[in-house]
């Protein structure tokens, strides 16, 4: 079948997904490049964490206001603006090494944070508009595929970042990604449907905060869920692998890449783990059950590390188990927010939800550097456990069978 014969909805889904994939590879690679490059320069875990603070802070603001802009301008525009800002962020890092100060990197990361969340909010919101109403099973499948494939490619980005740093160095790695992203951006401008996702009724600014209780509880649970991941994953884990296990850049980037790739693959198949074969669509009870299961894993890892029981094996196997169960939690949440969101101005609800997601990442990132530097990886895992328990408790309030007030 030729591309012109494919239904427009499928073509748009393919373009949006391809756009999201390309962005995600550069985002994952950039994260790994910055962590490993500045660790190599002698920065402490807390100082490395601070490089990403603006990335997460501006991610929070972008999701809050980006949903409003998406409803007002159209999601095609917000997606393309996100790509352009990532190009600018990469270009900022091409300055000579002597000019690559902490504040300059933080500013570049701020732009990258805005870019990432504009792109993600736009992509997730678009799917709601491309799937027929009441086709909840198909909506879940499309969301799971988009989310899972994105994270698998983000893992690929981690590997690309570690490999490029070893092979060509920091600046040439940034330049290669910049050129590739410019080509994707130009293609996206020419092919995305105009005004996709633009609200029929003109959105009011107060609509940013006007949410159903279901969306509020789900957003709060998402904040704790992603804080629980990033409190050990963002800074503590790569620094621990490099300093305690004495792994080189290839090993660190490769392991984290494989972890995120596996995590993404499980996300893609999440509908099959949550009852699709039995014809069940997940609801609030599903979110509670899967969060409760997840909480046991970091608690067990922390206990084994405290007992000094086969540290390397306990940590690596525990990380794989955590990744698989966390992936199902994440995919399930991503479906629920798109399902709960109103079709007209969908980006308002999705943007608010991912604002909470970004807030969780911000909290997790700062704690990852500070707690690891002060108390070690075991403490990071206990905080992760507590955050997941909070997410599970909040999930009790989520509606069953999609009865949203």
Average pLDDT, the chain: 78
Residue 241 CB-half CA count within 13 A: 22
Distance between CA atoms of 257 and 260, rounded to whole angstroms? 5
User: Superfamily for 3-199+211-395?
Assistant: MFS general substrate transporter like domains (1.20.1250.20)
Distance separating alpha carbons of residues 182 and 144, to the nearest angstrom:
27
Top-confidence residue, 222 or 167: 222
pLDDT recorded at residue 215: 84
Handedness of CA 119, 122, 126, 128 (dihedral sign): positive
- Structure token digits, residue 123: 């992509």
CA distance 392 to 66: 28
Q: Does residue 2 surpass a pLDDT of 80? A: no
Q: Which of 130-139, 225-234, 250-259 has the highest mean pLDDT?
A: 225-234
Q: Distance between CA atoms of 233 and 226, rounded to whole angstroms?
A: 10
| Position 201 pLDDT exceeds 60 | no
Q: List, for residues 255-289, the tens digit of each pLDDT value.
A: 877 887 787 788 777 777 776 555 667 777 888 99
Residue 224 pLDDT: 95
> Which of 66-75, 108-117, 176-185 holds the top average pLDDT?
176-185
240 contacts 377 by C-beta, under 8 angstroms: yes
What is the model's pLDDT at position 374? 87
Among 26-35, 165-174, 209-218, the range scoring the smallest mean pLDDT is 209-218
DSSP assignment string, 89-152? HHHHTTS-GGG--HHHHHHHHHHHHHHHHHHHHHHHHHHHHHSPTT-HHHHHHHHHHHHHHHHH
Q: Return phi, psi of residue 18, to 5°.
A: -65, -40
Both structure tokens of 86: 């990532």
User: pLDDT digits over 376-389, tens only?
Assistant: 889 999 999 999 99
- DSSP letter, residue 245: S
Q: List the structure tokens of 122.
A: 């736009």
> Per the structure block, which two tokens stand in for 383?
């905080």
Tokens of 306: 């405290």
Average pLDDT score over residue span 34-53: 76
pLDDT reported for residue 325: 93
Of residues 290 and 105, more confidently modeled: 290
Q: Closest by alpha carbon to 348, among 200, 208, 204? A: 208
* Res 303: pLDDT: 92
Q: Is the pLDDT of residue 247 over 90?
A: no
The answer to whether residue 79 scores a pLDDT higher than 50 is yes
C-alpha dist (Å) from residue 381 to 127, 183, 227: 34, 41, 11
Q: What pLDDT, on a 0 to 100 scale, did the predictor assign at position 404? A: 42
Cβ distance 366 to 192 under 8 Å?
no
Q: How many helices (H) and strands (E) does the chain have?
A: 15, 0
Higher pLDDT, 196 or 370: 370
Tell me how far the alpha carbon of residue 185 is from its chain's centroid: 20
Each domain of the chain, given as residue ranges in start order, spans: 3-199+211-395
pLDDT tens per residue, range 311-365: 888 888 998 899 889 988 988 887 888 777 665 556 567 777 778 888 898 888 8
């Amino acid at each position: 079948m030729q591309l012109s014969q494919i239904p427009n909805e499928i073509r748009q889904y393919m373009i949006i997904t391809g756009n999201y994939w390309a962005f995600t590879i550069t985002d994952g690679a950039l994260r790994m490049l910055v962590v490993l490059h500045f660790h190599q320069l002698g920065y402490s875990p807390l100082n490395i964490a601070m490089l990403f603070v603006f990335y997460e802070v501006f991610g929070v603001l972008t999701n809050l206001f980006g949903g409003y802009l998406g409803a007002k301008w159209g999601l095609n525009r917000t997606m393309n603006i996100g790509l352009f800002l990532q190009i600018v962020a990469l270009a900022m890092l091409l300055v000579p090494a002597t000019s690559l100060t902490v504040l300059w990197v933080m500013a570049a990361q701020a732009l990258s944070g805005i870019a990432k969340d504009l792109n993600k909010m736009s992509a997730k919101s678009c799917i709601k508009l491309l799937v027929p109403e009441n086709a909840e099973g198909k909506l879940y499948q499309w969301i799971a595929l988009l989310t899972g494939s994105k994270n698998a490619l983000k893992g690929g980005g981690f590997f690309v970042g570690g490999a490029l740093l070893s092979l060509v160095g920091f600046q040439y790695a940034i330049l290669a990604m910049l050129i590739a992203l410019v080509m994707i951006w130009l293609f996206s401008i020419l092919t995305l449907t105009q005004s996709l996702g633009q609200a029929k009724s003109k959105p009011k600014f107060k609509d940013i905060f006007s949410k159903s209780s279901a969306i509020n509880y789900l957003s709060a649970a998402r904040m704790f869920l992603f804080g629980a991941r990033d409190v050990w994953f963002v800074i503590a884990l790569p620094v621990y692998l490099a300093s305690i296990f004495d792994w080189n850049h290839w090993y660190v980037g490769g392991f984290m890449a494989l972890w995120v790739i596996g995590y993404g693959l499980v996300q893609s198949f999440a509908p099959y783990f949550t009852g699709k074969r039995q014809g069940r669509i997940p609801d609030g009870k599903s979110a509670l059950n899967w969060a409760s299961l997840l909480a046991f894993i970091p608690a067990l890892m922390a206990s084994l590390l405290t007992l000094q029981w086969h540290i390397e094996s306990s940590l690596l196997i525990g990380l794989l188990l955590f990744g698989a169960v966390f992936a199902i939690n994440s995919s399930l949440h991503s479906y629920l927010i798109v399902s709960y969101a109103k079709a007209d101005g969908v980006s308002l609800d999705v943007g608010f939800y991912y604002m909470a997601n970004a807030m969780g990442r911000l909290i997790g990132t700062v704690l990852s550097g500070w707690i690891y530097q002060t108390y070690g990886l075991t403490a990071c895992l206990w905080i992760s456990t507590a955050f997941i328990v909070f997410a599970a408790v909040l999930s009790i309030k989520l509606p069953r069978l999609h009865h949203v007030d």
